[in-house]
Structure 1
């Protein structure tokens, strides 16, 4: 029997498919509202940082973030992905989650990280060292977790959508 065919009342309603709009009347009581989420994993290579920016732009456009919020979020994604590509060894991952009033951006790299870049006295500040400062300036909260398995950075940005979201 298909999970979506008629079922005896004693078994309750059929399980919801992940694509069912749970905000419709009648379905709202069957399942809690889930925050939209998107995840991507790529090799930790500088040449692929733009792929994360492009993916974030596409997803945040679909989620109806305002232009300013989307641009800030894509800048944060780019800065964090550049750090993951520079300092990580194997893979880098991006996870975007849209919660009511906030966008959570998580960028991580796996494997043993390389030594961080140390700018010399003649180092150009326009080339290195501004990424996390930009992330902190655009975010209302930033958490950094670093261990033997890599680095994970969580940035929270204020976010609203152009559409009214049903609760």
Structure 2
């Protein structure tokens, strides 16, 4: 049985030297299914601090949860979440290290297999989704249109 203690520190809202209109945060945890909720909670807290409207925040947290669940399932070492907010756009990147090669395409319509449906949700909520795969693992980048107060 795994026992993990995870500590997530939210970045300050004001960062000297940060470009105007840019907020960015990164979280890395062991790739364990039990820690997916930690990444969802961190994303929720941060997006509240960034004043994202509730409906857009809920969509973004759903994307984070689906991608983090995939990273926890397929990654071997760790999973990372990077959120970048610019005026009008939220970029969500979830990466896993050491995962085997896998398909990151949404399932075919009517596919009875439940695996992969989360990626269909991500594709439905995001303006654009890109998958990067190399020998270190897989990164999925999803861009969401948002109304921001930056």
* TM interval, short-chain normalised: 0.7 to 0.9
- Whole-Å separation in 2 of the counterparts to 1:49 and 1:115: 21
What CA deviation, in whole Å up to 9, does each residue of 1:87-109 have, x standing for no partner?
11001000000011000000001
- Whole-Å separation in 1 of the counterparts to 2:15 and 2:75: 34
**In terms of Rg, which structure is larger?**
1
> Mapping of 1:95-106 within 5 angstroms?
95-106=82-93
3-state SS of 2:116 partner: coil
Aligned with residue 114 of structure 1, among 83, 93, 100: 100
Q: Which runs of 5+ in 2 are unaligned?
A: 1-13, 104-110
Partner of 1:15: none
Aligned with residue 19 of structure 1, among 15, 19, 24: 15
Q: Alpha-carbon deviation of 1:46? A: 0.4
Aligned with residue 142 of structure 2, among 137, 155, 160: 155
Number of matched residues?
131
1:42 has 2:29 as partner: yes
3-state SS of 2:92 partner: strand
Q: Which runs of 5+ in 1 are unaligned?
A: 1-17, 23-30, 118-122
3-state SS of 2:27 partner: strand
- Whole-Å separation in 1 of the counterparts to 2:15 and 2:74: 37
Cα RMSD of the aligned pairs, angstroms, is 2.2
- Whole-Å separation in 2 of the counterparts to 1:57 and 1:32: 23
Partner of 1:90: 77
- Whole-Å separation in 2 of the counterparts to 1:34 and 1:108: 24
